[in-house]
Amino acid sequence: MQTNQHLIDFLNQQIANTSVLHVKLQRYHWYAKGPYGYVIEQYTKDLHEQLDDIKKCLGVRVLAIGGRPIAVMSKFLQEATIKEAEADDEDYEVVKTLRHDYSQLAQEIKITGIPIARRQEDEATAGLLVDILGKLEYEAIRLTKYLIDADR
């Protein structure tokens, strides 16, 4: 086993997570309804593009450290820690689910990914994960603000 196999496995898990979330966002983009359905349609389009960039960066990083990025749906579903879309597509439920997913991904990177990269003395991967963490946390905060505003 490669000495950095744990890091490759973690990055592949994040590729799986972003892939599942990517499909979930597509569903929400197509089927969002409720008073803020149009806003969610536009917001999910932006998130979809951002996740595509994140997934590409993760895949390139796996290749750079000698691994093979996973690239098939069955593996995405097998390796992902987030679940497929289950929301009823109402705007509040969509935002609540997305906030949970973004927060979970941020926590996984903060608690697991960055420490693994630093133990491997792989500052390039650690830096990439810190950048992704910032994007995920920013979106989680935006989604939380929406939920607080919606509860008023």
The enclosing domain of 130 has a CATH number of 1.20.1260.10
Q: What is the three-state SS of 96-132? A: HHHHHHHHHHHHHHHHHHHHHHHHCCCHHHHHHHHHH
Q: At what angle do helices 37-64 and 5-31 cross, to 10 degrees?
A: 160
Q: What is the mean pLDDT of residues 68-78?
A: 96
pLDDT of amino acid 88:
66
Is the pLDDT confidence value at 122 over 50?
yes
Average pLDDT over residues 61-85: 95
> In the structure encoding, which two tokens stand for residue 128, read together?
């990439």
Note the pLDDT of residue 151: 61
> What is the per-residue pLDDT across 90-104, written as a single tens digit (0 to 9) for each?
777 888 889 999 999
Q: Cα separations (Å) of 118 from 56, 57, 85, 109, 124?
A: 21, 18, 33, 12, 9
CA distance 145 to 143: 5
Q: pLDDT tens-digit profile of 29-45? A: 888 777 777 778 888 88
Structure confidence at residue 3 (pLDDT): 77
Domain count, the chain: 1
Q: Which domain holds residue 111?
A: 5-151
The confidence band for 7, taking pLDDT boundaries of 50, 70 and 90, is very high
Is the predicted pLDDT of residue 1 greater than 60, yes or no? no
Residue 59 pLDDT more than 90? yes
Q: Provide the token pair at 143.
A: 């989604």
- Does residue 6 sit in helix, strand or coil? helix
Mean pLDDT for the stretch of residues 145-151? 72
Band of residue 147 on the pLDDT scale cut at 50, 70, 90: confident
The model's pTM is: 0.91
